Amino acid sequence: MLRRIAKCVAVVWAVICVSPIFIILIGSLMGNAELYGLIGSILGEREGYASWRIMPQYPTFRNIVELLLDTPEYYVLFGNSIKLTVTIAIGQLLFAVPAAWGLARYRGRLGKILYAIYIFCMLLPFQVTMLSQYIVLNGMNMINTLWSLILPMVFSTFPVFIMYQSFEQMPNEVIEAAKIDGASGFRIFISIGVPMSREGILAAMLLGFLEYWNMVEQPVVFIRDAWISPLSIYLPEFARGSLGRSFAFSLFSMIPAIVAFAAGRNALENGFSVDGGSVND
């Protein structure tokens, strides 16, 4: 009985989790008039309460066509977001993967202290170091450029934390065997460590992508010009004539994240294997 109730609750929660995606999809297929009829009340221009439909009454691609053909700003912001996330991802492959490996495989006292520093940095909210980061970036002449968003994020400690868990769980025997065969430390890292933990690395990259695609705090502070901003801080205007476009915009800002997510969801599930071991620090 209890188990059945738990299952029902889980299914209801699953529906709540996915419903916003469908709301946005349905909304972007509705015409402005239909949307105004349904949710015009939240603009304060109509009496009563907003309502919603499972299917658009008069489905139309007008909003989407308008967004894609008549809104050049959209492409600029979209391009900025792509540049950001791709550059950060490449940077992290270069810096975070080796760092996670170094921290996870060599467990001396110094390694433990460094790992604790990494976790502490991860816990610090952006706002705590905002001011000094601004001063550093200003000194490098990077404020109001995409680099002010990219560089600090390349050294974000979150992916190191995720990949650490995966590197740490590699069986020691494999590495010992490779050492006996005469493989160098770097060789072991590249041809054994990385391939064996590829799902953990993928999971960290995917989580990173979702995070940077949704970057808000940094661009608000470090970017002044709208055309350098990423997509994530653009707020679609809610007005009578542009309701449909708001939904279409939301749909298209969501698509890259959903696609990445759908492609990497298995890595997300398998990449984070937590064994029964104790916390190693």
Partner 1 sequence: MKLHKNNRFLFYIIPGMAGIMIFIIIPLLDVMRRSFMDGSASRFVGLENYKAVFVNMPFQLAVKNTLFFDAVSIPLIFVLSLLLAYTVSRMKNSLIRFAFIVPMAVPSNAMMVVWRMLFEDAGVINGLLTAYGREPVHFMTGEAAMYLLIGTYLWKNMGYNMLIWLSALGSIPENIYEAAKIDGAGCLKIFTRMVLPNLRKAAYIITVLSLVNSFKVYREVYLLVGAYPDENIYMLQHLFNNWFSKLDINKLSAASCVTAVFLFAMLGILLWISKIEPREKKRVYSFEPDDAGQEEAGEA
Q: Which of residues 127-186 bind partner 1 (CB under 8 A)?
A: 127-136, 151-152, 154-155, 157-158, 160-161, 165, 185
Residue from the set 113, 126, 227, 263 that interacts with partner 1 by CB under 8 A = 126
**Rounded to an integer, what distance in angstroms lies between the CA atom of residue 26 and that of residue 31?**
10
Q: CA 186, CA 105: separation in Å to the nearest integer? A: 12
Residue 6 is a binding residue for partner 1 (CB under 8 A)? yes
Q: Report 197-226 residues binding partner 1 (CB under 8 A).
A: 207, 210, 213-214, 216-217, 220-221
CB of 197 to partner 1, least distance (A): 12
**Closest separation in Å from C-beta 200 to partner 1:** 11
Distance CA 176, CA 88 (A): 33
Minimum distance between the CB of residue 9 and partner 1, rounded to whole angstroms? Answer: 8
Q: Which two tokens stand for residue 242?
A: 């542009």
Nearer to partner 1, 83 or 134 (CB): 134
**In whole angstroms, how close is the CB of 176 to partner 1 at the nearest point?**
14
Cβ atoms 160, 103 nearer than 8 A: yes
Complex with partner 1: residue 154 or 223, whichever CB lies closer: 154
Give the Cα separation of 181 and 188 in Å (integer): 11
What are 129's two structure tokens?
A: 């170091």
Select the span of 42-50, 56-64, 68-76, 82-90 touching partner 1 (CB under 8 A): 42-50
Determine which residue in the list 1, 48, 69, 181 makes contact with partner 1, applying CB under 8 A.
Answer: 48
Please say whether the beta carbons of 201 and 94 come within 8 A: no
Q: Which is nearer to partner 1, 201 or 249 (CB)?
A: 249
Confirm or reject binding of residue 231 to partner 1 (CB under 8 A).
yes
Q: How buried is residue 274: exposed, middle or buried, by Cβ count under 10 Å (0-12/13-18/19+)?
A: exposed
Number of residues that bind partner 1 (CB under 8 A): 111
Binding mask 77-106 for partner 1 (x = CB under 8 A): -----------------xxx-xx-xxx-xx
Region from 4-12, 54-62, 63-71, 175-183 binding partner 1, contact rule CB under 8 A: 4-12
* Interface characters, 246-265, with partner 1 (x: CB under 8 A): xx-xxx-xx--xx-xx---x
Supply the minimum distance, in Å, between the C-beta of residue 183 and partner 1. 14
Name the region of 31 (left: φ>0; alpha: ψ -120 to 50; beta: rest). Answer: beta
Q: Segment contacting partner 1 (CB under 8 A): 59-67, 68-76, 117-125, 175-183? A: 117-125
Nearest C-alpha neighbor of 250 from the set 26, 31, 37, 32: 26
Phi, psi (5° rounding) for residue 270? -90, -25
Angstrom distance (rounded) from CA 91 to CA 279: 28
- Rounded CA separation 44/242 (Å): 15
For residue 39, give every residue at least 6 positions away whose Cβ sits within 8 Å of its Cβ, in sequence order, or none.
Answer: 50, 51, 52, 243
